[in-house]
Amino acid sequence: MMTLSDVIKVIKGSHITYFNQVVTGIVVRAEQSYPGALFIALPEEKNVTEAVKRAFEGGATCALVQEELPKPFYVFDLDSEQTLLRWDALKETPLCLKVPNTLDALKKILCFWKQKLSLHIVALVGCGEYCIAQQLIVDILSQRYSIRSVQEPRDATDLAIEVMNLNKPGERLVVKIHPEEVVSFCEFAVPEIFVFMNLNLSRDGRKKSLQEKGLMVDDFIERVQASSLSKCVVVLNYEDYSSLSFTQPNRSKVFSYGFSSQADLWVDGVESLGVEGIRLRLHHRNEIVHLRVPLIGHRVVYSVLCAVAVGIIEGLNWQEIVNGLNVSQSQLRLITVQMANGALLLDDTCDSSLESTLAALNLLESLEGNKIFVLGDLSDLDERYKVGFEMIGIRAAEVVSKFVAVGEQARIAASEAAKYGLDEGLIVRLDDIQQAIRWLETKTKSEDLILIKGSRNMQMDKIVTHLEVKA
């Protein structure tokens, strides 16, 4: 619980006991105000008077501003020797606290709240739209802690508000942030754990050089070292860690994972169990743990390593980690559904990247059955889509018995598959998912194994939903 006295003490340095009104939360957008909230008018707010008015209409108990306001607002300057009125003397007068910079005030309040409740932030850098690692981390940490998980926020301020919404002692916030937002977020609060996953891409889609990646991580580590309050651990793929050069390396703050035995956490003995998942062997210090994980394909191994690394750093034991990897939320991401005719559908529409599509084809190759590949357009390829679909077509020609292309982009892959040896008679070109549903209902048999791949925008998942309902 935070009171208005706490807010004043954090900013001004003096405690006022009779201002014990509970602050139920913090908002920086007036339209999001609710009873008991503290509204903070950030420096970029264009019309502070109007924003504060709307915040109080929404139920805010107080506002933090950095300028004088007209009546009926009562503005108390926390930088002055002005005597603050008692709360009961204010009656219906809206109270505003004036500070030199409201953004700095938000940072101080955030720091106070994190320390008061011993909150931990786990930040994942370089995740895709659908991040298996994020869900696995949530599954593992929830074996011991209260967890909140959020997707990539718009900016560091939004992320600060997410932290302020945590209200349980020891609660963990698991959040994705873009690599180029790392430094700006650290200006608010350095996470306890920073997991660097894919450091390759910049905002414009350009691949970063080793030097650029090294400078980015190095800059972050220097900030961590400069913070006497932070006990942040940086989690890195060992391949990245070993190839990057750091100006001031600090081994105690880096936890590496990978296939190399030089990593802090390393894996070997990876074996695909088909639709049943994977089997692998983990090594950490002198411990060896054999795992069977209900996730499909070798591409998930790095996600498992990330999640286990976070669990180890957070002090969980192996039983808790294993339980977390096997709870319902982290069951097969590639969902299997049996059709009425006995054919098996493999639904991998949750991830529409080039890498995951190629990995799904690799998995399909390892399974027994008559392999049919149903491909829709992929939203994650951007300007690379033509080359990406050509790569998919080449791999499909090596794996599948029949290729069903849904949409214009998917036809590029189908044509490329034909160039690389897949008979034209085994290629079906369709315009939409309705045609795909009808084809699957009438042209498939019990021995068929059907991989469904495509973006959510194409609604390829509705193919599976429709056929599962009928099954």
Residue 201: pLDDT over 80? no
What is the rounded CA–CA span in Å between residue 379 and residue 351?
Answer: 10
Which carries the bigger pLDDT value, residue 165 or residue 127? Answer: 165
Q: What is the pLDDT of residues 94-107, one digit of tens each?
A: 889 999 999 999 99
CATH code: domain of residue 165: 3.40.1190.10
436 in a domain, yes or no? Answer: yes
Do 159 and 270 have their domain in common? yes
CATH code: domain of residue 392: 3.90.190.20
pLDDT of residue 112: 92
452 in a domain, yes or no? Answer: yes
Do 293 and 398 have their domain in common? no
Q: How confident is the model at residue 229 (pLDDT cuts 50, 70, 90)?
A: very low
Q: Which pTM was predicted?
A: 0.72
Name the domain boundary from 76, 105, 134: 105
Q: Which two tokens stand for residue 115?
A: 């320390």
Name the domain boundary from 271, 296, 330: 330
Do 215 and 70 have their domain in common? no
Do 321 and 422 have their domain in common? no
135-140 average pLDDT score:
92
Name the domain boundary from 75, 105, 135: 105
Do 92 and 154 have their domain in common? no
Do 419 and 388 have their domain in common? yes
H or E element: which one contains 63? strand 62-65
What is the rounded CA–CA span in Å between residue 240 and residue 199?
Answer: 9
Counting the structural domains of the chain, the total is 3
178 in a domain, yes or no? Answer: yes
Do 271 and 378 have their domain in common? no
Task: Give residue 415's domain range.
Answer: 335-470
281 in a domain, yes or no? Answer: yes
Q: How confident is the model at residue 365 (pLDDT cuts 50, 70, 90)?
A: confident
H or E element: which one contains 403? strand 402-406
Do 379 and 458 have their domain in common? yes
CATH code: domain of residue 83: 3.40.1390.10
Do 325 and 341 have their domain in common? no
Per DSSP, the residues of 289-353 read EEEEES--SGGGHHHHHHHHHHHHHTT--HHHHHHHHTSGGGS-SSEEEE-TTS-EEEE-TT---
Lowest mean per-residue pLDDT among 1-5, 244-248, 440-444: 244-248
Do 198 and 323 have their domain in common? yes
pLDDT of residue 48: 95
pLDDT of residue 408: 87
206 in a domain, yes or no? Answer: yes
65 in a domain, yes or no? Answer: yes
Do 169 and 268 have their domain in common? yes
Q: What is the pLDDT of residues 23-64, one digit of tens each?
A: 999 999 999 999 999 999 999 999 999 999 999 999 999 999
Mean pLDDT of the chain: 83
Do 291 and 399 have their domain in common? no
Percent of the chain having pLDDT more than 90?
Answer: 45
Residue 452, SS3? strand
113 in a domain, yes or no? Answer: no
Q: Which amino acid is at 82?
A: Q
